[in-house]
A and B are shown apart, each in its own frame.
Chain A
Amino acid sequence: MSLSPDEVKSIAFLARLSIQEENIEQYSQDLSNIFGLVEQMNAANVDQIEPMAHPQDAMQRLRDDVVTEENQREKLMSNAPLTEAGLFLVPKVLD
């Protein structure tokens, strides 16, 4: 399986990565090589094995429904680039 330059572009867009046009060919090859590596696993026979959702063979621990957190807005906002009226400010988004 290989990854085309167009697929590389689309993956970069979805991940919001800015990549240079001249590097796309190289990325395409590198990523295809990784696929090659992963594909080796297809040789393993897993007919009798139930797919796992997690590599650890364990179940999720649950917590009680209790509010344990206090307001830490000042502290948590201290490293935000821009805030106003208790809100984080980001470049305008409209949907």
Chain B
Amino acid sequence: MEWETVIGLEIHAQLSTNSKLFSGSSTEYGQEPNTQANIVDLAMPGVLPVLNTEAVRMAAMFGLAIGAPIGRGNVFARKNYFYPDLPQGYQISQFDKPIVELGHMDITLENGETKRIGVTRAHLEQDAGKSLHEDFAGMTGIDLNRSGTPLLEIVSEPDMSSAKEAVAYMKKIHELVQYLGINDGNLAEGSFRCDANVSVRPKGQKELGTRAELKNINSFKFVERAINIEIERQIDIIEDGGAVVQETRLYDPDKNETRSMRSKEEANDYRYFPCPDLLPIEITDEFLTAVKAILPELPAAKFERFMNEYDLSDYDAGVLTASRETADYFESVAKACGEPKLTANWVTGELSSHLNNDSLEITDSPVNAEMLTGLIKRIADKTISGKIAKEVFQALWAGEGSKDESAADKVIESKGLKQITDSGAIEALIDEIMANNEGQVEQYRSGKEKVFGFFVGQVMKASQGKANPAQVNELLKKKLS
């Protein structure tokens, strides 16, 4: 039988505020346990939440970026459940009136087509603390530093039909929240997390199959693997005559399997109701106008502009706009040197491969935008060839030169790499090589033109790669004829 997969994602993105959603505690990651949890985060009796403006602004930015209406009178609700890392006994979240309503995100499929994925909603809520189950004999340790950190939960429509599509969507959202500067994109530290709802059904069937929810998957690679393994599991069950149970499952990357966390019988009944401690949040026209004014250029718009303004291929434009930092780097070099195509080649080529090799982000690149500008200017004015430029780049990468535009010039000067364009000097080299290789000269003159390449190689070698290749060709032809 042929099967069809239906996937919806719930992404939890921590908002990059300084303080928590409802308290003035710091949200900084990696601090000593419980040093950033005040009486509100600990849910001491009698405390009241006071809402953070910035979290509301960031959520609104996201809504505008996905083309969604912003809930003018959105409401916080209590989601009730007991867990030790949730001291209130309920999570303050949003239920029927979220801040961000229906929007969408376009993804590019492997065949190059564009698919529109619906974003059902995005709402503000508090993060919980952390439970540490190891190291304490028979006890669990609780760190509430994360308790109350603002989260934007981004819920998609069940519009994805393969693990690859789900990853493409997740990456797009990941890219967008970083462009907007509302999330640091750090999956390893848990600031961007994903749950996947996965079900299968016979191809052509209308009704959805029973779904399983895969919890807290913290890398793009694991999302793809977890979904694929879950699809296989569900198909096996159904083909063996069984039925999929609606449940929460955990992906185990070591064993590459999913396993049940809670069964449906114990399923939580969250008993949502409007939080009596908080009034509805009013989003005024003035507020939205101000948010629109600070909205940066979005990835899709930047992509289009790069193709038009710099005449880049869609591949180059895609790579260069994959992160705001890469786009900014490219643009600053391209503008300063006036060679967008050459800049695109260097950023997507030499620079990217060096960054990959050393596992560095572009913001930490030893070769900054000014240094690359200086280098590209020298390629463009033919002071050095592309090949020598790689040598100069390598030196810059290793810390030679200086941290400004003159860096390449300094390396070219100190290493004597300037291209030889003096025809007298090149002719002298050619004369010497012809004198030392009379046999080959004979061969060439008797019609064996393939030997020409040999001479080019010899001249380039003799000049240590510095002779201008076009000139070498021209002068060789003249001399050999």
Chain A residues near B (Cβ < 8 Å)? 10, 14, 16, 53-54, 56, 58-69, 71-73, 76-77, 82, 84-95
Contacts and interface: CB of A to CB of B under 8 A. Distances in A.
A67 B142 contact: no
A58 to B, nearest CB: 5
Nearest to A55: B276
A91 B139 contact: yes
Contacts of A76: 34, 37-39, 42
A69 B24 CA distance: 5
A69 B32 contact: no
Contacts of B24: 63, 66-69
Nearest to B273: A53
27 contacts: A14-B269, A54-B75, A54-B276, A56-B279, A59-B281, A60-B51, A60-B281, A61-B279, A62-B53, A63-B50, A63-B51, A65-B17, A65-B55, A67-B24, A69-B23, A69-B26, A69-B38, A71-B35, A76-B38, A76-B42, A82-B139, A84-B141, A86-B32, A90-B84, A92-B138, A92-B139, A94-B133
A58 B278 CA distance: 10
A56 B75 CA distance: 13
Interface in B45-92: 50-56, 73, 75, 80, 82-84
A71 B24 CA distance: 11
B142 A89 contact: yes
Interface residues of B, number: 52
B425 interface: no
B403 interface: no
A40 B39 CA distance: 40
A87 B143 CA distance: 6
Contacts of A64: 53-54
Contacts of B278: 54, 60
Nearest to A58: B279
A86 B269 contact: no
B371 interface: no
Interface in B128-179: 131-133, 136, 138-144
Contact of B142 (A54, A56, A72, A87): A87
Nearest to A90: B84
A69 B41 CA distance: 11
A76 B138 CA distance: 23
Given A66-B18, A93-B84, 4 more contacts: A62-B56, A64-B54, A65-B55, A88-B84
A63 B21 CA distance: 10
A59 to B, nearest CB: 4
Contacts of A69: 19, 23-26, 36, 38
B34 A86 contact: yes
B271 interface: yes
Given A60-B281, A63-B51, A88 B141 contact: yes
Contacts of A10: 269
B262 interface: yes
A26 B182 CA distance: 53
Contacts of A56: 279
A14 B271 contact: yes
A60 B277 CA distance: 10
In order of increasing CB-CB distance, the 5 nearest A-B pairs are A68-B24, A87-B141, A65-B54, A59-B282, A62-B53
Given A54-B280, A71-B36, A73-B34, A93 B83 contact: yes
A68 B19 contact: yes
Interface string B355-374: 00000000000000000000
Interface in B1-50: 17-19, 23-26, 32-39, 42, 50
A57 to B, nearest CB: 9
B274 interface: yes
A65 B52 contact: yes
A53 B274 contact: yes
A65 B80 CA distance: 27
B97 interface: yes
